[in-house]
Amino acid sequence: QSALTQPPSASGSPGQSVTISCTGTSSDVGGYNYVSWYQQHPGKAPKLMIYEVSKRPSGVPDRFSGSKSGNTASLTVSGLQAEDEADYYCTSYAGRNNLLFGGGTKLTVL
Amino acid sequence: QVQLVESGGGLVKPGGSLRLSCAASGFTFSDYYMSWIRQAPGKGLEWVSCISSSGTPISYADSVKGRFTISRDNAKNSLYLQMNSLRAEDTAVYYCVIDRGAVAGDYFEHWGQGTLVTVSS
């Protein structure tokens, strides 16, 4: 099964909002509410930012939000800050023994 | 606090074997599904394998099925990945992760720092 599709890059100025998309199919993103998002700074392990489409783990700022429409999930970062500059990956459950990752999006804070 | 510490990575020749370990602490290890996720240099993330809290069921990505074996020892709070018939494309940082949620692969709440496996002659 193919990976989920993310834009390779996104950018915004401090204080602005940016939305990163994650497109799959009805067999993964569209079929389950098990989409999660991870932030990864260079040389570091990924960090969970959003799970089950729109839930935020404790400690993650409410500037980060998730949503889904049809086969596309989205991560929105509001009030961009310099420390938000990182790579972001989406994942989706795609049935038993099948988990898909997106190719990643490099977010640049201008 | 939750800690996941991987070890066992290194340089190995194509066709060789390696066993990764992950020492877990700060949570009740035997209560949770665990997974291995890898990241090739400069590339994205790839789920490798998952094991239930009791040891079965187990699942593998097609890319490693028949070559890799995941296991756990709940008495030692440890997760393992036996990797055989290694290929150049297995070169990656391997992360040990806690697999949470309603289904295996729902979300990965905690990650180790990773261990680098390099397959090269």
Q: Could you read off the pLDDT of A38-85 as tens digits, one per residue?
A: 999 999 999 999 999 999 999 999 999 999 999 999 999 999 999 999
pLDDT-based confidence at residue A97 (cuts at 50, 70, 90): confident
Q: Distance (Å) from the C-alpha of residue B82 to the closest C-alpha of chain A?
A: 19
Chain B contact set for A45 (CB, 8 A): 95, 111-114
CB contact under 8 A, A96 and B59: yes
Q: Are B30 and B76 in contact (CB under 8 A)?
A: no
Chain B interface includes A89 (CB < 8 A): yes
CB distance B81 to B48 below 8 Å: yes
> pLDDT for B21-77, tens place per residue?
999 999 999 999 999 999 999 999 999 999 999 999 999 999 999 999 999 999 999
How many Cα atoms sit within 13 Å of A30 on the Cβ side?
8
Nearest to B59 among A52, A89, A97 (CB): A97
**Mean pLDDT, rounded, of chain A:** 95
Which pLDDT score is estimated for A109? 95
Query: Which of residues 45 through 74 in chain A touch B, CB cutoff 8 A?
Result: 45-48, 51-52, 57
CA dihedral sign of residues B95, B98, B99, B101: negative
Q: What chain B residue is nearest to A92 in terms of C-alpha separation? A: B106
